[in-house]
Structure 1
């Protein structure tokens, strides 16, 4: 009989830093920046909702403000991705405890298209992935995305993730009144070892 897998190591997320970026908790003060991308149809095309009004974004930011714990299944932290040189908010990284007892974490990301093509999303996602493995001691990290979202799929591959599934009609999207597919990417701790660190 083997020992059960270790429970995820809990932590309160502080600030993550990279060469060009700072990842810190989203706050209500980020309203203008967040509304700037969540109000765009091209951004929300691959999200689970339609473009948000300024009021809707403000309500959501108020709900998530101050949430920094990643300990139990369902715990979620949203980090603003800030360019260090000018404090510009480029987008956000989401870290979710998918299954605490199985040491499984999920990552997500949303970025303003105006800042694409400069490697910011990859840099921020790598920092979050390293945090999941090195601080939270995750065994497995996943990312779920719309199968047509090729930019996010390429990002997953740059992180060393492999596509493990394509679920058909598994998400009902109330805003659109339709079912949508989901592609699931994942990477295991044993495959990390700095694998997505260089490119």
Structure 2
């Protein structure tokens, strides 16, 4: 059995310790906490420079770069997302605003309409509201009233115009008939008063004949 000098054994222990620390440091770099990774990604998507991200999160520039590259390998369009996010921030909007816009766009597509048609409609409404000194809210309320009116009649809102025109035509017809009835009533009143006058006249004539016989 061989015996080794004490200094040699200490040297081997030192090498082992250094090797262990080196491996631990390498693994530690690979095991960046997910919380920091998410903060790095959020900051980068927000448009913050890498050096500033490193300073704010207490890590070096290379670590930030590797984290971002790791996300890029998993999300191919992440650069596009960052550009869009930066543009949204510059416009003073939020992701909720964008999500709302996407919902409206999808809704228009489901209805078979388009953004161009909607913009044209909104422009016409704005001009109409200005000319009539009404607000957009007033216009929307009036549309709801027409919708309720149509629903109460059991017709489509698209049939309201034809329905109103038909009722106007019926009203004109009834007005003509009413005027005829008024004329007939007036004629009968005149005939009645004429008859009353003749009756009274004949009565007075007969009374005179009895009082002064010839």
Superposition TM-score tier, normalisation by shorter sequence: under 0.3
Give the structure with the higher percent strand. 1
TM-score (normalizing by structure 2) = 0.19
Rg (Cα) greater in structure: 2
TM-score (normalizing by structure 1) = 0.20
